Structure 1
């Protein structure tokens, strides 16, 4: 609900005289919406790190490192700065209304995405069935996040000076916010699912949680 509230505040800022606080703009660097997004990314990192400790499994650190990268990238504008540097060094040209820096950013997205997908794939191969089911869900949500963060972002650039620009601002940043909220809530639910299926006696004996987690409904599809 908070995400939708930020979307409403954005429209109030854009189309009414009720508020002219620029921090209400959903795409504003350092704005309220962006700070809320940082908070969700931070909690995703913390929760996944806790899961790694709770299950004594390093597999969750692959996802934790990914969200850590997202937080650093969003807060420091890494893909924008690095994309601009690459575009200048490789002398990219504008094409289809996309600027050279946009192609630089796409290259950064591609390389970083490949790195973390490889890391997650290795963790998936080594992880238990619970981690694999969780990762499949997170991968699907990640694809939706990439759609808003990359595909819609590029469309936003194409239509930047058209009447559709405000719509793409909401689609891009609002979509990212909603998906990130879903991801964080899902990650939060994982700890509860593990707790429900844990044999506390075996944990007390010092066995790794990954060996004693027993899903009450193994056939249940999330």
Structure 2
């Protein structure tokens, strides 16, 4: 259901863009409500929901298991929610571009370079948290963390990598720009859907694991005096 909802929003985006171009009188639909690439659209709020569920479930996984890797990833996904909701990297990146003499990169605006710097600083701050999470966890929990790392890499690929490719290519071809917009935002949604689904499965596994049998419990079961008549 999570993935089906994401696919629906992607198809709705494509449909409304095509509709807006063919019927200008209803272009407001294609420009705001159902567009993947518009701030405060329905799809964006659904993205917030997916990310928030992921954060809550990973925090719950830490409470249930006391494995630091789950807390580390909960904090990282919490930063993603705050960044998207408050436009942190866009605003700070624009501020850096306005205040500092940033180097120009081919095909990118100065604010894009500023955004890359913000992402780099965020990664430098969050990496020690992630390292601590892996080092403080069991091998099994660390294995779960590796899968979360893969999911996060997919999210970064679409959210940051494809974003920069889109900025470079869009001025050269409107069609390619439109296709890359779908790949960028749709791919980011699907990556968050994967994270949310994985967190749900992880929560189910940790919540339904067998209760450990203690030595005292075994001794109690073997004690004839404790057996009912």
CA shift digits 1:54-109 (9 cap, x unpaired): 12344422111111110010011000001111222221244312000101101111
Q: Does structure 1 residue 92 correspond to structure 2 residue 102? A: yes
Give the corresponding residue for 1:187: 199
Give the corresponding residue for 1:131: 141
What RMSD in Å do the two structures reach over aligned CA positions?
1.8
Q: Kindly tell me the number of residue pairs found equivalent between the two proteins.
A: 203
Task: Write the distance in 2 (CA, Å) between the matches of 1:76 and 1:101.
Answer: 17
Bigger radius of gyration, 1 or 2? 2
73-82 or 94-103: bigger deviation: 94-103
User: Which of 13, 18, 27 is 2:16 aligned to?
Assistant: 13
CA offset at residue 196 of structure 1? 4.2
> What's the TM-score, normalizing by structure 1?
0.85
Structure 1 residue runs of 4 or more that deviate by more than 6 Å after TM superposition: none
CA offset at residue 153 of structure 1? 0.3
Task: Write the distance in 2 (CA, Å) between the matches of 1:62 and 1:154.
Answer: 27
Task: Write the distance in 1 (CA, Å) between the matches of 2:177 and 2:154.
Answer: 21
Q: Does structure 1 residue 64 correspond to structure 2 residue 111? A: no
119-128 or 53-62: bigger deviation: 53-62
Q: Does structure 1 residue 166 correspond to structure 2 residue 178? A: yes
Q: How does 1:1-222 map to 2 (within 5 A)?
A: 1-16=4-19, 20=27, 21=29, 22-161=32-171, 162-163=173-174, 164-201=176-213
